[in-house]
Every structure is written in C-alpha cells, then in structure tokens.
Amino acid sequence: MNAPLRNPPLPGDANRFDTASAAQMEQLVMDLRQMYHERNAALEEVAAAHHEALLRLALAADYRDTDTGNHILRIGYLSEALALLMGLSSEAAAMLRKAAPMHDIGKIGVPDAVLKKPGALDPEERRQMNEHAAIGAHILGRSRIPLFQMAAEVAQTHHERWDGHGYPTGLSGEAIPITGRIVAVADYFDALTMDRVYRRAFSVEVALSMLAGERGRSFDPAVVDMFLAHAPALVALRERINDSGCAVESLAGAPLLHVRRFLAEFGTAPAASPRAASEMTT
C-alpha cells in the first residue's frame, strides 16, 4: 500500500522557516562570540594578576639583595633588546621582557646572612646562595602558562656557564636555552654597573671590558658580541629606564617604551630573520 501523500509546504512557509533559522543561528554565533571574548578577557585578567603577584615576589627578593627595584626593570628591557638583536621575534622578545625580571625570584629563600654578607662566601654559604636558581624554577615551573614556563627556564639556567662550570646542572654551550644565555649577559652587565653590599658600581667602560673577558667562558660569545657591538644603544636604554620613574606594574601591563623603535633611533637594526617563541629553547 502506498504511503499517503503529504501536502507540500507552501513557499511562504518555507521562507519563514529559513528566515527564522538564519536569525537564530546569527544570534547563537553572536552569543558564542561574546562568551569567547568574555572568557578570554577573564583568563587574561587572571594571568595578569598572577604575573603581578610573581613580579612582586621578585621585587621582594631584589630589595633584599640590591635595595632597588630598578634592577629587575632594567633586566627585562635589556633582555628584550638583546633578544631582538639576536633574531628572536617581537612576540618572543616581549615575553622575555616579562619573564626575565623573575630570574632571581628564588633569592626569597636565601637567608639574609648569606644574601647580604659583605665579604666572600664560604663553601656552605655559596651552596645556599646557588640554591636560588632551583628554588626559582620550582616556584615558577608548576604553571602551565607559557610566560611562567619561560620564567622558570630563565631562573633555572641564567647561572649556567658557556664552559659548563655553572650551576645548578652544569649545562654548557648551546645546551643552555637562549633565554638563559641572554638574561645571563643582561644581568651581569647591569649588576656590575650598580652598587652592591660588597662593592661600589663599576663604570660602564670597566663593565664592558669585564663582559668581554667572560666571552666564551661564562657567556655565549654571540650574545656578548651582540651586546658589545650595540653597547651605546643598550646603555642608553638602561639609562632611559632609570630616568622613567617606572614601577613594577609596567612589566605586567603596557610596556614603557617600544624597544625595537628605541634601537632604531641608534641605527641599530634587529636581525632580519626572527625566531618564534617556540624556538627559544634551542
């Protein structure tokens, strides 16, 4: 027996159905888009809050060691500039600017008697001081946020040496992540040119000479050569940060200045083939 024929839909009814469906789909897409933007905004706010909290821990550690918060700001911008000059992408270099200031966060776990000792450290005190790299990596490394993973890498490796005689694991050469190699040079130069509890600041000229002397020993020769080749621009960048009256919040938010543009003012062009953030551990 043949199935009964159904009345065909009227053209007007079909048009009304299509119009209603399209309107519903459009509203659904708009709602999903709004939810997506709200979710991303919430995640960015949480990440920024976490970043600022960790920066304040880094600032606390830095105050215990140097009595100034400008050091971690300068390290961030010097590291970004060096990263650009070494051919890293703008995105990767900007991430390093935010990660580098947390390099010594592990000093929060070093006793004051060791951290502020004006003279040479004995072997046990040196062991305690050297633990700050592993402590910092432990504080930062449990996060799945890429910024904090990079910061953990920097904390773990910025005291490794090109010749393999650094700590905490004795990495050498290019086995040391490029992030750690860059921050090591920026940290060394900046530390030499500031007052410490055990000595007065060295002049820029002396600091550059000392940096050159560690080429191929403590530091990656390529990074040292890049720093020395562009020293006038990097020293000027350091002084700009000193004169800016900036606060630690600037590292968690909008940058104080456009580093690539600042370098260009000195006729310093970053390398032409930038490497992406995913390549920074090679």
- Catalytic residues, by residue number, are 107
Task: Identify any residues that bridge with 219 across adjacent strands, giving them in sequence order.
Answer: 215
Q: How far apart are CA 195 and CA 202, in angstroms?
A: 8
The secondary structure of 52-86, three-state, reads HHHHHHHHHHHHHHHCCCHHHHHHHHHHHHHHHHC
The H or E element that residue 38 is part of is helix 11-66
Residue 248 is given by DSSP the state T
Residue 239 burial (CB count, 10 A): 12
Q: Is 109 in a helix, a strand, or coil?
A: helix
